Amino acid sequence: MKKTVLVSGGAGFIGSHVTVELLEAGYEVVVADNMSNCDMTCFEGVKKITGRADLPFEKVDFCDAVATEALFDKYKIDAVIHFAAFKAVGESVDKPVMYYKNNLGSFLNVLEAAQTHGGCNVLFSSSATVYGQPEKLPVTEESPRQPATSPYGATKQMCEDILQDTVKASGGAIKGILLRYFNPIGAHPSALIGELPRGVPNNLVPFITQTAIGKRECLSIFGDDYPTPDGTCLRDYIDIVDLAKAHVFAVTRMIEGKMKKDCEVFNVGTGRPVSVMELVTAFEKVNGLKLNYKIAPRRPGDVTAVWADPTLANKELGWKATRSVEETLKAAWAWEKHLAGK
Ligand code: WQD
């Protein structure tokens, strides 16, 4: 009997790529999303990539406890991967109540429904943002979490604690894995799914590809006076398909009972620090184009450098990032051209 994974926020950028990998690994998947931050482009793309025209989709706002419970009544859920959350750092500073209400409320409803249905495996989509500006690099899972620098980051830390406490109190009925992503970038090699930010992109790579396609006038590089080799910030950019595959390894670890603790934490990164300027230069080179960019003032809240030590995930999950930055930036550009009908 196939195991079923509920992917909350599954019509979004990361959720849709994870759904593809879960289906290709032989899992049944239920995609649930309230469509507040995406349209059906990626969900339709997932069906084309996997040939699963019958892929179940449920329009659900996880802040609605009754609707969340009904989902768990309707499907026998063996694991839930929780992506449903708002994720714009800057917006969270302007609208903290909206972020706490949505990001905490939705996760609490999922956990409550899991409890009332006899428990299940819960994988929470966390973020390297919980580490703030680490004192020591690369970052391991033992690195201390720093005080959050935005309500968005605070909701990630709070949801991590909520899951740990819920697992502890569940007497084994609920197992948890926290995946701390670094910087997910790129798109599926089919160019049928990818990042589709609403409005002006906050993140670097969609701003690069939208500038290259002509949707944006000019890329601003936020600061070139940081204490780094070329003066621009360093990040651990991880290919979205590599990231998606990590979720399959993590869900399988839970479902097959291979966990060493009831709640585990893994950094999902490449271990490879790349600067903004290096990324821009690589994008130009691999796609044979010139990008219009300028140096702008630093963006408040940016950390100078953060990248992962992925040893634990490599060893325990048996997962490793394999795609090069060049391969990822090629896929990102192919996706942007697909969106433009090119
Ligand atoms: C990367 C670098 C910018 C845009 C955030 C969240 C994280 C995760 C990913 C949410 C920084 C620079 C960016 C631009 C630029 N989750 N940049 N010009 O801030 O590392 O991480 O997004 O989705 O939790 O914290 O990612 O892509 O915004 O920035 O120079 O137009 O690119 O200054 O150095 P970040 P980012």
Closest protein CA for atom 27 of ligand 1:
203
For each of the domains in the chain, give its residue range(s) and CATH number, in order of start. 4-185+237-268 (3.40.50.720), 204-235+271-337 (3.90.25.10)
pLDDT at position 1 is: 87
Q: What's the chain's average pLDDT?
A: 97
Residue 205 alpha carbon to ligand 1 centre in Å: 9
Helices (DSSP H) in the chain: which residue ranges?
Answer: 13-24, 41-50, 65-74, 89-94, 96-116, 151-169, 204-213, 240-255, 276-287, 311-312, 325-339
- List the residue whose alpha carbon is closest to atom 36 of ligand 1: 203
> Is any ligand 1 atom within 6 A of the Cβ of residue 145?
no
Tell the residue nearest (CA) to atom 8 of ligand 1: 183
Query: Among 38, 83, 87, 89, which residue has the most ligand 1 atoms within 8 Å of its CB, making it the best to mutate?
Result: 89
Give the pLDDT confidence score for residue 28 in this predicted structure. Answer: 98
300 confidence band (pLDDT: 50, 70, 90): confident
305 lines ligand 1 (CB under 6 A): no
* Mean pLDDT value across residues 53-66: 97
Residue 127 has pLDDT above 90, yes or no: yes
Does the beta carbon of 80 lie inside 6 Å of ligand 1? no
Q: Is the CB of 89 under 6 A from ligand 1?
A: yes
Distance 46 CA to ligand 1 centre (A): 26
What atom of ligand 1 comes closest to residue 128's alpha carbon?
Answer: 24
pLDDT at 90: 87
Ligand 1 nearest-atom number relative to CA 127:
24
- Confidence band (pLDDT; 50, 70, 90) for 327? very high
Whether 146 and 173 have beta carbons less than 8 Å apart is answered as: no
Give the global pTM.
Answer: 0.97
CA distance 291 to 145: 36
Mutation choice for ligand 1 from 133, 218, 222, CB with most ligand atoms inside 8 A: 222
| Cα(292)–Cα(284) distance, integer angstroms | 10
Q: What is the helix (H) or strand (E) element at residue 179, kind and residue range?
A: strand 175-181
| Chain-centre distance for alpha carbon 58 | 20
SS3 (DSSP) at 239: strand
The sign one gets for the Cα dihedral 40, 44, 46, 52 is positive
Active-site choice (152, 181, 226, 237): 152
List, for residues 130-166, the tens digit of each pLDDT value: 999 999 999 999 999 999 989 999 999 999 999 999 9
Is residue 213 within 8 A of residue 219, CB to CB? The reply is no
Neighbour-count burial of 342, counting CB atoms closer than 10 A to its CB (0-12 exposed, 13-18 middle, 19+ buried): exposed
Q: What is the number of the ligand 1 atom nearest to the C-alpha of 129? A: 24
pLDDT in tens, 238-258: 999 999 999 999 999 999 999
Q: Residue 277: CB within 6 Å of ligand 1? A: no
Ligand 1 midpoint to CA 276 (Å)? 9
Question: For this structure, is 152 an active site residue?
Answer: yes
pLDDT value, residue 253: 98
* Closest to 329 measured CA to CA, from 269, 273, 288: 288
Dist CA 285 CA 281 (whole Å): 6
pLDDT value for 342: 84
